[in-house]
Amino acid sequence: MEPRKRLSDILAESASRKSFSELWKNTKPARDFVVIPAGEYLCRVRSGELGVTKEKGTRFYKLGFEIVEGEFARRRVWHDSWLTPDALPYTKRDLEKIGIYTEEQLEEPLPTGILVKLRLVVRRDEDGKERNRIKSFEYFGREEADPFSPEDLTGGDSK
């Protein structure tokens, strides 16, 4: 087993260690996330990724959204669109709202700046925890590209 790393190992320079120590002392802990109240929210489409569930191997396309205004701005929510025969009509309905019309587009990065108005609800899962769920969304428009934005203009999140 590899020996446990020490903070001094990853902060090799003394200047890095000193600035991190100051940052640590002056940083307040983040609050726990609370469930976003049910309602309508203006959101930016941030991501679209193909996946397969671990339990049953069900294929899906996961959309990631970021709230762009109000108290919950910058919070993110996700929506799974199932790629099964029974669910495909609903998946195509939803994906066409953001410009995905062909199966080939599922493998491409999404264009940046797509805005949607989504309806968020709160559901209680089997474990008793309240969670957000996207009930529906509608295309709202496109953001104008910021020429000074570090985000890749070909689509997707900047890394």
Quick: pLDDT tens for 110-152.
989 999 999 999 999 999 999 999 999 999 999 987 667 665 4
Question: Residue 157 above 50 pLDDT?
Answer: no
Q: How far is CA 80 from CA 53, 62, 77, 111, 137, in A?
A: 11, 4, 10, 19, 13
Q: How confident is the model at residue 15 (pLDDT cuts 50, 70, 90)?
A: low
The predicted pLDDT at position 156 comes to 47
The 10s digit of each residue's pLDDT in 71-92 is 999 999 999 999 999 999 999 9
User: Of 3.30.1370, 1.10.1760, 2.60.120, 2.40.50, which CATH number belongs to 39-142?
Assistant: 2.40.50
Give 73-127 as a DSSP string: TT-EEEEEEE-STTTHHHHHHHHHTTT--SGGGGGSPPPTTEEEEEEEEEEE-TT
Q: Chain-wide mean pLDDT for the chain?
A: 89
Question: How far are the Cα atoms of 17, 59, 73 from residue 27, in angstroms, in the given order?
Answer: 15, 41, 21
pLDDT of residue 68: 97
